[in-house]
Structure 1
Amino acid sequence: MRKARISSRREPTIALINIVFLMLVFFMVAGTLSQPLDKELSLVRTADLDGRSPPDTLVVHPDGRMSFRGEDIASAEDFLARRSEEEREVVRVVPDQALPAQTLVNLARDLRGAGAQRVLIVTQRGLE
């Protein structure tokens, strides 16, 4: 009878650890890392504000028309021309829910180009 040889070869645990680590990284990247928005959340509608928009906010209607404190504004440059240097640092915008996203992006770019330091979008959550 022969004695069974005991294999001195180690199991390749490093390869297994590498595979598990790569799977972890893959699922972290592919999965959702942030909390999804509440399904019942809907963006603010300027029609629901009843003329009571937050003070010092630029209201943008669904057709792209802008107003500030009830007065129509022709452009982002006109809006910033009415504000002091200190008020230009942070510009708050209340968009209508039906406003196209591209229109809102263009408005934010125009505001930044006209001298606004920061452009904040005010939503229903921010108004409550």
Structure 2
Amino acid sequence: MRRARTRSQREPTIALINIVFLMLIFFMVAGTLAPPLEADVRLVETADLEGIAPPDALILSADGTIFYRGEVLRDAGAFVERLPSEDATVRLVPDRALPAERLVAIAAHLRAAGADRVMIVTERGLK
């Protein structure tokens, strides 16, 4: 009589690990959000493009001067008084050289004066 072979007990988690690993590989290959640019495509450069601010925005110069439609405002609170009461959204277009502390202080002053939202208009670039 032959002795019965004892089977080794394999862990059932090995199969699960294999499936998860295969799913990971599948999603890494198939999950590309955007195809890469062609190697010979050169993007348009807009460094010399003159941009214009939205007409209803406050312009902040590098020294902190506030402009609205070409005129200098004494402070940011004077602008909030002109806004319609139902939508008090303020758009700020800061100069690149304006210190961040000054920008935050002006935004806080606008909120304290009654602005519902303060939006900062920036330039978006593709890098």
**TM-score normalised by L of structure 2:** 0.58
Matching of residue 101 in structure 1 with residue 100 in structure 2: yes
Distance in 2, Cα, partners of 1:62 & 1:5: 82
Q: Indicate the residue corresponding to 2:69 in structure 1.
A: 69
Distance in 2, Cα, partners of 1:2 & 1:41: 82
Given that residues 94 and 121 in structure 2 are in contact (C-alpha distance below 8 angstroms), is that contact kept between their aligned partners in structure 1? yes
Distance in 2, Cα, partners of 1:104 & 1:114: 15
Q: Indicate the residue corresponding to 1:45 in structure 2.
A: none
Distance in 1, Cα, partners of 2:7 & 2:56: 81
Q: Indicate the residue corresponding to 2:78 in structure 1.
A: 78
Q: Indicate the residue corresponding to 1:112 in structure 2.
A: 111
> Which SS does the other structure have where 1:124 is aligned?
coil
Distance in 2, Cα, partners of 1:78 & 1:41: 34
Gaps of 5+ in 1: 25-39, 43-47
> Which SS does the other structure have where 1:58 is aligned?
strand
Distance in 1, Cα, partners of 2:95 & 2:75: 17
Larger radius of gyration: 2
Greater length-normalized contact order (CA 8 Å, ≥ 6 residues apart): 1
Change (3 A) 1:12 1:81: same
- Structure 2 letter corresponding to 1:75: D
- Structure 2 letter corresponding to 1:104: L
Change (3 A) 1:96 1:5: same
Q: CA RMSD in A?
A: 3.1
Count of equivalent residues: 96
> Which SS does the other structure have where 1:102 is aligned?
helix
Query: Deviation at 1:102?
Result: 2.2
Distance in 2, Cα, partners of 1:12 & 1:107: 62
Q: Indicate the residue corresponding to 1:57 in structure 2.
A: 57
- Structure 2 letter corresponding to 1:5: T
Gaps of 5+ in 2: 25-44
Query: Deviation at 1:12?
Result: 5.7
Query: Deviation at 1:41?
Result: 8.5
Query: Deviation at 1:10?
Result: 3.2
By percentage of residues, which structure has more helix? 1
Residue identity over aligned pairs, in percent, reads 51
